Structure 1
Amino acid sequence: METLEPKHLVLPLTGAATADATLTGGKGANLARLIDAGLPVPDGFCVTTAVYDRLVADAEIEALIADLEDVDPTATGRQRALAGELRDRLRERPLPADVREAIASAVDDDAVYVARSSATAEDLPSASFAGQHETELELEGLEAVLDAISACMASLFTDRAVAYRATNNVPHGDVSMAVVVQRMVDADASGVLFTADPTSGRRTVASIDAAAGLGESVVSGTVTADNVRVDRESGEILEYRVGDRDESNDGRSGDSQRGRVLSDEQVTTLVSYADAIERLFDTPQDVEWSVADGRLWVLQSRPITTLFPVPSPPPDDDALHVYYSFNHRQGMTESMPPLVADYWRRVTATTLGRVVGYDLPTGPVSTTAGGIVYMDVTPLVRSDRLSARLFASLEEVDRAAIPPLEDVRERRGDELADISLLRGVSPTRTLSTAGRLLPAVGRSILAIVRGLVSRSYEGVPRRSREWADRLAERLIRGVRGGETHRDRIRILLETYEEIAFEGVTQAFKLWNVYVYRAALKRLCPGADEEFEALGRGLRENVTTAMMLELGDVTDVARDRPAVEQALSDGRDLEEIREVEGGEAFVAAFEDFLDEYGFRAPAEIEFSRPRYREDPSPLLETVRASLETGERGDHRRRVDRLEAEAEAAIERLERRAAQAAFGSIRRRLVRPFAARYRSYLSMRETPKYALSQLLDETRHQVLAAGEYLEREGGLDDAADVWLYDFDELLSALASPAEPIDVDLDARRAEHRRNRQLRAPRVIASDGEIPRGAAADTDVDGLVGTPTSDGIAEGVARVVHDPGDAALERGEILVAPHTDPGWTPLFLNAAGLVTDVGGVMTHGSLVAREYGIPSVVAAEATREIDTGDRIRVDGIRGVVEFLEDG
C-alpha cells in the first residue's frame, strides 16, 4: 500500500479523511459520518490503517499471512495455529515513534478511554464482523491506550475473525485494521437498538434492549435486558418488557415506569436518532448507545446483516402486501443469481399475462428478495372465498405455507391492500386467451369421453413424452436461429410464453387423473391405502424411466470387475474408458447422457451445471449402487410396485362388489384404475420439456458471457450471471463497453443471500410471519406425510447432490428435491425434505418408487448425518431412534 503522510497516522473523528473506510475502517468511517450528521458521539480519534500497514511490513509476518491464505478453511487446527502466531508477532512489534508521538498528543491524561478495533472489512452491509475483533475498556493513561491499540491491531487475526473471513470469502491479505479511541461514557444505562424487528424482520418496528450500566452486558448476553418495541411510523411504544423481574407493562402514556431502564421520552429520543442513522446509511442499523447524566450518546452503528431483504420492487401503494415464494412452490429454496431470479420473475409475470389475460404491469406482479422470486398473493389472502381455495391448493404442494399466510390474514388483515384479483385484467387479452385455450379444453373433454369407450389411454405416456421432445426441439431450433447473441437471448425471453401456454394446454389432459380418481373414490370410498398403491410403479413416467435407465448403466459396470474397481477408485470417464470393459460402460453412460444430460439438481437454477457438463453426481450414484446392490434391483423394485398396484386393484374390485350395484361397480374399477395410472404417468412431461429449454438458456447465456469477455465488456465470463436480462441485452448491444453495473457489489450481495434462509412467506414491510407451531410430544419432527410407509435407517443430509452419494438403505434428508436429485432415490430407504407437499416432485417420485417420505420444516438443521431415524410417511413424523 502507498505510504501515507504522518498527518494520516492519527485522525480526529471528523472530516472527509476519517470517513474514508480504507483509512479508518468500517467503524471509524461510520462514526465520522454520524458526527458530521450532528449525532451525539463521544470525542476521540482514530489510529489509521497506515499504522497497521507499517506493523505488517515485515517479511515473516507477510509470509505468515500468505500461508494463512493458502490454508483450507476446514483445516481449523492449522488455521488457529497461524492466527495465533500472527497475533503474537503483531503484539511484539512496537508502535513506531512518530505514531506514539501522534497518539500522545491526542490523549488527555485525566480522561478514561475505550479502544475499539475498526477493520476495513467490518460493519459492511454484506458482513458485519460484529464481535470478531477486540474492544478494550476503561483505559487510563498513555501506556494503557498504546497497549490497547496494539491489542486491537493484532485482533485482526483472532480465531473467530479469521474463520469469519474464510466463511465470507474475504482474503486475509486484503483486510487492514484501524483503531478508534474515544472518551469512555460513564453510563447509567446502555444497550442496543435495531431499526428493524430482529425476530420478525418487520422494518417499521424498532427493538431496543436496555440495561443499567455499561453496554457490554447487553451485547454479551450476560443479563436479561429490558426490551422495548416501538412502531416507528406512529411513535407508539407497542410493548415494554422489564428484564430480570416479573413487572411489565405496555408502555403507553400514563402507565407506571418504575423499575424501567428507559423513560418514554428517552425511548422516543433514541428512536428518532435511530431513524436519522438509518436514513444516513440507507439500510437497517444495529446501534449501540449509552445514557449518562440524562444525555443519550451514540457509540457505534453497523448494518444489520442477518435480515432477509425486503421484496423489490416494492408495491406502488402504502398498504401491506403479502408474498409467497415461487421457489418454495418449485421445491428449490437456495438463492439464485440476479440473472436467474430476473428470468423467473419475468416468467411468472409473463405467464399471468399470456394465460390469464392480465395487462401487465398493472396486474398482479412477482418480485424478488434475497435471490428468491415471490408472488403477490394479497388479493387471495384478503378474500374469505379465495383464501380458502388458496389454502386448499397448498395442502397438496406446500402445507407449511398455510400457517404463516393464515397468521397474516388474522393478525394484519385490516392492513392488507384492498386490491382485486381482477385488477389489470384486459378483456381483449382474456378473450384472445380463451379463444386459444378453448380448442385444447374441447380436445381434453373429448379425450376423456373417448377414453371411456376405447383403449386410447394406453399410449398417453409415450405420446406425452413425444410431445415434450417435439416442443423443446422446435423452441430450441427457434432460439438457435437468432443471428446474434443478443437476438438469441431476446428470443429466449419470448419463448417461455409459448412453453408456458403449451404446458397449460397439456395440463388439461391431467383432468383425466382427477376424473378417474374421483370416480374410483365414489366406487370404493375409504380405500386410501389402495389409492396410495395405485400411484406407484409407473415405469413410463419420465423420471422413473430415467432412474431405471441409470440402473441399467449400473448393471453394465456390475458385469465388468475392472470398471467396478475404477468407479470405486473415483476415476473419471476417460480413465474408466482405458480399463477392461471400460468402452462398453462409457458408451452406455454416454447414451444415458444423450437422453438425460440436460437435467441437473435444482433444475430451475440454470446457472448450475447440467449432467452433461458435470456427470460426477451420476457416477457417484453408480458407485454407491455397486457397493450395496445387486444386478437388476432397480427393475425388480418397479416390478414389485406394479404387483402391489395390481393387488390394490383386486382389493378395490372386491370392495366395490360388496356395495350396492356391486357387479356394475366391480366391472368399472379395473378400466378406471388403468386409465388413472396411465394419465398419472404423464404429469411430469411439461417440466421435462421445460428442462430442455432451460439447458439451452444456460448454454446461450454462457456463450453471451464468453462473447462479452472476448470483446472486453466483461473481465470474467461468469459475471454474466450478475446482470439482469435488460442489462445483458444492453451489454450485448455494445459488447466492448462495460455497462454501469457494480458487479463487485452484486457478487457480495449474492454471496450473502446464499447464507440466508429464505422464508416461504414475507410481507412488503419485511415481516416474516411464522404461524402457530406444531403441538406434539414426539421425540422428533412433525411434518406433512407425502408418501405412505415406514422406514428406519441412517440419515444422510445432502445439500448438493453433486457432493454426496447415498448408500443403499440410508434415508435421504434434503432441503428439497427435483428431477435432478432422482439418481439418489435409487438407494434411498426414505426421504425427508424441508419443503414440499403431496404433489411436489420428491413426494411424487417417492410414492412411485415406494419410498416413505415426510416434509418437515428445518429437517436439514435438526437432523445430522449419521443419526438413526424412523420416517413415518403415514403420520408425517420423523423420529430419532435411541441407538443412533
Structure 2
Amino acid sequence: MATAERSAATSPVGSPLVVDLGELRSTDLPRVGGKAANLGELISAGLPVPGGFCVTTEAYARAAADVDTTDPGRARDLLRTVAVPDDIAAAITAAHRALGDVPVAVRSSATAEDLPTASFAGQQDTYLNIVGTEALLDAVRRCWASLWTDRAVAYRAELGIDDAEVRLAVVVQRMVDAQVAGVLFTADPVSGRRTRAVLDASPGLGEAVVSGMVNPDHLAVERGRVVDRRLGDKAVAVRALPGGGTERVELASGADACVTDRQALELAALGRRVERHFGVPQDIEWALDGAGAIWLTQARPITSLYPVPVSRDGALRAFVCVSLAQGLTRPITPMGLSAFGVIGGTAARLFGLPGPHTTDPVAPPPAFAAVGGRAFVDITAGLRSPVGRAAATRILGIMEARTGVVLRDLFADPAFAPVPRARWRAVRRVVPVLVRFRVPLVMLQAVASPTAARNRVAALGARAARVPASPPDATSTERVDRATQTLTTALHVFPRSAPAFAGGFLMRVVARRLAGDDLDDVTMDAVLRSLPNNVTTEMDLQLWALAQQVRADPTSAAALRDTADLAALAALFRAGTLPTALQNGLAGFLRRYGHRAVAEIDIGMPRWSEQPEHVLGALANYLRLDDPDAAPDARFAAGERVARQALADVVARVGRRSRWRARAVGFALGRVRELVGLREAPKDHLVRLIALARAELAAVGTELAEHELLDAPGDVFFLDLRAIRASIDGVDQRHLVAGRREEYARELRRRHIPRVLLSDGTEPEALARADVPDDGALIGTPASAGTVTAPARVVLDPVGARLEPGEVLVAPSTDPGWTPLFLTAGALVMEMGGANSHGAVVAREYGIPAVVGVPDATSRIETGARVTVDGAAGRVHLN
C-alpha cells in the first residue's frame, strides 16, 4: 500500500519548496520538520502511510520573510492572511494535482516537534478534509500562523527552545475515509510498562479521540493478547463533509466495540514495527478505512516515559531511586553519579558483594544504575530475601514512607518471590560488618554515656575536617587520585557514627514498649521537639543569630533589604566590601558551614562557600520576620519546654501503673532526646568529605580549561572519574560535556520521578489506586503534630526563594540546604519523605506542623492557595 501511494506525487521531488513524503528521512528534519520526517521514515520501512507531500520550511521562511515574529500575536495574524508567493502556490498546486486533487489532511510540522525529547503534540494546527486548491493554500497559511499560537510559544519557552530557531513545514496527505480511528501507544503511558501497548478507538476521524471530545474504547495488548478492554460511550464522532471540512455527529449508542481483538492485535503489531524502526516507544495516530485497511497517519516518540534501567540478567528486576530517598528530586551531575558509584562500590566491598568494584575503585557495584540522571539501586535480591524485605521496608519507612508502601505491594509479585537460603546469605554478609565496626557495642556505649557518644561523633567530624588537601604543586592525576580516595573512605563515617543515634532509636522502641498506650504518636512527637545536638538545627539557629547581628547594624541591614540582586551581594562579599558586620558574620558562618549546599550529596553542586547567594537570600528573608514570638530561637526554646512537659506527663501516667516502669520510661526518653539529634551528624561528615573531593576536582577543571580541553572549569563536573582521566591525557571532552549538559537541562524539567521502577519500565506506584478521601484532602504521612491554616508557597528550588513568615512551605523534598526556609515557615508539606526523614525531623524540632509523602503536592497546591495542614492526621485540606 505504501509503495502505490508514494508514486502518486513524484513530480515535486527535488524542489526546495515541495517534497514528496516518500523521499524524506530523519536527516531531512531541518527542512521538513519532525512530523514529515517521521512519516518519511515510516514509508521507507514499508509501513502503510497515506501518500502526500511536504511544503518545506524554505517555503515558510519565504512567506514569513517580512513578518516581525517578536510579537507572536501580530505574527500570527499576518501569517493567516499573507499572500502565498506565486512559485510556492504553483508548487503546492502541482503536487496536489499529482496526488489526484483528492481531499487532503493538512498538518503542521515544526522543526522542534515530534522529537525524542519534545513532542509538541497539539501545539500547532491540523486541518482535515480540505477540498480544492484555494482551501488548501488557506490551510497552509493557517498552519504557518499556528507556529505563533500562545500555547506553542509558551511550550517552547518552557522547554528553553529559542523562537528564532524554529521553522514550520506543512504535511499534506490524502485523507483516509476513516470508519474508525484513534491513538496507539506502544508502551503504557501511565504505568510505563514497555511490554504493553494501549490504544483508544472511536468511530469516525481520529480528531474526536485526539481532542478529547469523546470517551473512546480503551484496549491494552500484551504478549500477543488483549489483556484489558474498557468500552467508552463514543457519543460523538467527527465525520468528513462531502464539500470539505468536518462535522460533529451525535451517535445513538456506543455499546458495541468499534475494533475487534484481531484488529487490536494487528495495530499492536504494526506499532511494534514502528517502535523497532525508531528505537523508542511511539505515540501513533491510525485509521481504519471502509475496507478495514489500517493506515498510519502520524508517529512520534512518547516523551513522558521515564528511561528504563537495564536488567543484568534479562529477568524482571526492581530498582529504588536512592536520589529520592535522600530528598533529591533534581538530576545529579555526571560526576555526582560517578561519586555515588565510588561510595556504593565501597559499601559493596564492605559487605563482600562480588563485582568489578572489588578491584576497580571507581567502578560502581552491579546493583547501581544511573537512570535519567538519578541514582537507582537494584533491590531485587532484597525483595527475594525475608531479611531484605524487612530491612528495606523499615528503613524506607523512616526515610521515604511511600517507597516502603510500593515495595510491600511488590511482595505479592511472583517475580520477586523469596528465594531459599536467602535469609542466611543476608545474615552472613551483614554480621561481619556489624562486628568489624562494633556496632552493637557502640550503641550500648552511647546509651550508657551520651556525652561520650557525642564526643566520639564530634571527633569523627573533626577528623573529616582535617583531611589535607593536595599540595599546590600536585598534578591533575594526583588530585583525581586524592578525590577518589576521599570518596572511597567517606562511607566509613556511617558505621562509626551512626550507632550513636541508633542507640537513641533503640531507646525510643524501649520507651514505647514500656509505656504502651501512655505514649502515643502525638506525645512522642512532642517529646522529639527541639532536640539538642542536631548539627542542622544548630546551623539554622546560627544563621538566625547572624541575621540578628545584621539587623542590629543599620548599614548591613540596608545592604540586604535594598539589594534584590543576590549575585551582586555575593560579588561584594567575595571582594570583601560588604558592610563590616555582614562581611565578617557571613565569613564566620561559611567557615563552619561553607561545605554545605542545596542538593549537597551531589559533588557537582557548588558549595555555599563558593556561591553564598542562598545564604544571603535566607538572611534577607529573616529580616522580614518582626514577631518576637515567631522568632526561631524563641520557637526552639518553646519546643524544649513542650518536650520536657510531655516527657514528665508520660512518666507520670506510667507511674500510676508502675513506679519502676516510670523510671525506665523516663530514662529511655531522656536518652532519646540526648542521642536522636545526632542523626544528622554522619551526613554532615560525609558532605564535608564530598566538598573536599569537589575542591580537588575543581582544581583539575581549572587546569583542563586553561589547556582548552574544557570550555569552563565547572564543566569538569559533567565528566566522570574515567572521562576526567582521559581529559588529563589530552582528550578534548567539550563535545561530551555539551551533550551531557543538554541532557541534564532536560532532566531538570522533569517533574515526576518514580520511587520504584521495574526493568520493563513499569512504575508500580502508578498502578496502585490513590486513596482520595471524600472531603478531597491530600493524604500523606504524619510528620509533626499541629494544625495551621495559611497561604501556601510552592518552592521547587530554595535558592533565592522568598517565604513570607507563616506561609506553608510546599516542596518536592528537602535536604539541609532547604532548612533555612523552615525558620519562618508556618508548616511544611513535602511530596517525599517519611516520618523520620530529614524534613520531618527538622519540622518537629522547630515545632511546625508537617505532612510528608503527599503525592504531587507541588502541582495540586498553588502558591497563594489557603491550606490547612493537620500534621497529626497526615492530611492537607485545600480551603
TM over 0.5: yes
Mapped to 2, the partners of 1:579 and 1:742 lie a distance apart of 34
Matched position secondary structure for 1:8: coil
1:243 aligned residue = 232
Determine which of 482, 495, 505 is the counterpart of 1:491.
482
Offset of 1:10 from its aligned partner?
Answer: 1.7
Are 1:468 and 2:433 an aligned pair?
no
Determine which of 22, 31, 36 is the counterpart of 2:30.
22
Change (3 A) 1:824 1:731: same
Question: Deviation digits for residues 714-757 of structure 1, max 9, x if unmatched?
Answer: 3454444443432233223224x337748347614641453241
2:762 aligned residue = 767
Offset of 1:656 from its aligned partner?
Answer: 4.5
1:541 aligned residue = 534
Change (3 A) 1:329 1:271: same
AA partner of residue 777 (structure 2): G
Mapped to 1, the partners of 2:701 and 2:322 lie a distance apart of 27
Q: Which deviates further from its counterpart, 706-715 or 805-814?
A: 706-715
Are 1:851 and 2:853 an aligned pair?
no
AA partner of residue 558 (structure 1): R
Change (3 A) 1:18 1:11: farther
1:634 aligned residue = 632
Conserved 8 A contact 2:793-2:863 = yes
Mapped to 1, the partners of 2:53 and 2:508 lie a distance apart of 76
2:140 aligned residue = 149
2:240 aligned residue = none
Are 1:728 and 2:724 an aligned pair?
yes
Mapped to 1, the partners of 2:743 and 2:612 lie a distance apart of 29
AA partner of residue 543 (structure 1): T
Mapped to 2, the partners of 1:270 and 1:376 lie a distance apart of 34
Mapped to 2, the partners of 1:40 and 1:373 lie a distance apart of 41
1:308 aligned residue = 306
2:554 aligned residue = 561
Conserved 8 A contact 1:328-1:760 = yes
1:374 aligned residue = 376
Offset of 1:680 from its aligned partner?
Answer: 1.9
Determine which of 100, 105, 130 is the counterpart of 1:114.
105
Conserved 8 A contact 1:535-1:677 = yes
Conserved 8 A contact 2:233-2:255 = no
Change (3 A) 1:481 1:839: farther
Determine which of 764, 780, 783 is the counterpart of 2:780.
783
Change (3 A) 1:580 1:185: closer
Change (3 A) 1:629 1:750: same
Matched position secondary structure for 2:129: strand
Conserved 8 A contact 1:211-1:226 = yes
Change (3 A) 1:421 1:115: farther
Determine which of 168, 174, 181 is the counterpart of 1:177.
168
Change (3 A) 1:457 1:388: closer
Conserved 8 A contact 2:851-2:870 = yes
Offset of 1:670 from its aligned partner?
Answer: 5.0
Offset of 1:205 from its aligned partner?
Answer: 0.3
Matched position secondary structure for 2:184: strand
| Aligned residue runs from structure 1 range 504-543, under 5 A | 504-525=495-516, 526-528=518-520, 529-543=522-536
1:413 aligned residue = 414
Q: Which deviates further from its counterpart, 96-105 or 536-545?
A: 96-105
Change (3 A) 1:263 1:530: closer
Structure 2 unpaired stretches of 5+: 1-11, 236-253, 358-364
Mapped to 1, the partners of 2:325 and 2:747 lie a distance apart of 23
Mapped to 2, the partners of 1:577 and 1:237 lie a distance apart of 65
1:88 aligned residue = 77
Change (3 A) 1:304 1:732: same
Offset of 1:26 from its aligned partner?
Answer: 0.9
1:249 aligned residue = none
Conserved 8 A contact 2:219-2:229 = yes
Mapped to 2, the partners of 1:608 and 1:828 lie a distance apart of 25
Conserved 8 A contact 1:19-1:33 = no
Q: Which deviates further from its counterpart, 612-621 or 264-273?
A: 612-621
Matched position secondary structure for 1:7: coil
1:47 aligned residue = 55
Offset of 1:383 from its aligned partner?
Answer: 4.4
- Percent identity between the two aligned chains: 37
| Aligned residue runs from structure 1 range 343-358, under 5 A | 343-348=339-344, 350-358=345-353
AA partner of residue 568 (structure 1): R
RMSD: 3.2
Mapped to 1, the partners of 2:511 and 2:424 lie a distance apart of 39
Conserved 8 A contact 1:562-1:580 = no
Offset of 1:510 from its aligned partner?
Answer: 2.9
What TM-score do the two structures reach when normalised by structure 2? 0.87
Offset of 1:524 from its aligned partner?
Answer: 3.3
Question: Deviation digits for residues 785-812 of structure 1, max 9, x if unmatched?
Answer: 1122223322222111113222222222
AA partner of residue 393 (structure 1): I
Mapped to 1, the partners of 2:654 and 2:373 lie a distance apart of 51
1:879 aligned residue = 877
Offset of 1:102 from its aligned partner?
Answer: 2.5
AA partner of residue 466 (structure 2): E
Offset of 1:310 from its aligned partner?
Answer: 1.2
Mapped to 1, the partners of 2:102 and 2:234 lie a distance apart of 36
Change (3 A) 1:426 1:791: closer
AA partner of residue 792 (structure 1): T
Conserved 8 A contact 1:708-1:732 = yes
Alignment length (residue pairs): 830
AA partner of residue 585 (structure 2): A
Offset of 1:499 from its aligned partner?
Answer: 1.5
Mapped to 2, the partners of 1:182 and 1:418 lie a distance apart of 57
Question: Deviation digits for residues 574-618 of structure 1, max 9, x if unmatched?
Answer: 779999993123211221121112212222234333222333333
Offset of 1:830 from its aligned partner?
Answer: 1.6
Offset of 1:696 from its aligned partner?
Answer: 3.1
Matched position secondary structure for 1:243: coil
1:263 aligned residue = 260
Determine which of 125, 145, 158 is the counterpart of 2:149.
158
Offset of 1:823 from its aligned partner?
Answer: 1.0
Mapped to 1, the partners of 2:692 and 2:20 lie a distance apart of 58
Offset of 1:241 from its aligned partner?
Answer: 2.2
Determine which of 306, 311, 326 is the counterpart of 2:322.
326
Change (3 A) 1:701 1:835: same
Mapped to 2, the partners of 1:644 and 1:874 lie a distance apart of 16
1:599 aligned residue = 596
Are 1:832 and 2:829 an aligned pair?
yes
AA partner of residue 283 (structure 2): D
Matched position secondary structure for 1:765: coil
| Aligned residue runs from structure 1 range 725-764, under 5 A | 725-735=721-731, 737-738=732-733, 741=736, 743-744=738-739, 747-748=742-743, 750-752=745-747, 754-764=749-759
Offset of 1:779 from its aligned partner?
Answer: 4.1
Structure 1 unpaired stretches of 5+: 69-81, 247-256
Conserved 8 A contact 2:216-2:234 = no
Change (3 A) 1:613 1:716: closer
Determine which of 9, 15, 19 is the counterpart of 1:7.
15
Are 1:654 and 2:652 an aligned pair?
yes
Mapped to 2, the partners of 1:47 and 1:594 lie a distance apart of 63
| Aligned residue runs from structure 1 range 570-649, under 5 A | 570=563, 572=569, 582-629=579-626, 633-649=631-647
AA partner of residue 125 (structure 2): E
Q: Which deviates further from its counterpart, 685-694 or 372-381?
A: 372-381
Change (3 A) 1:625 1:141: same
Question: Deviation digits for residues 760-788 of structure 1, max 9, x if unmatched?
Answer: 11111111112342253344212111122
1:802 aligned residue = 799
Mapped to 1, the partners of 2:255 and 2:825 lie a distance apart of 61
Mapped to 2, the partners of 1:422 and 1:8 lie a distance apart of 69
Offset of 1:544 from its aligned partner?
Answer: 1.5
Q: Which deviates further from its counterpart, 115-124 or 687-696?
A: 687-696
Question: Deviation digits for residues 412-461 of structure 1, max 9, x if unmatched?
Answer: 3347796986899998xx69x9379535337516625xx63xxx423543
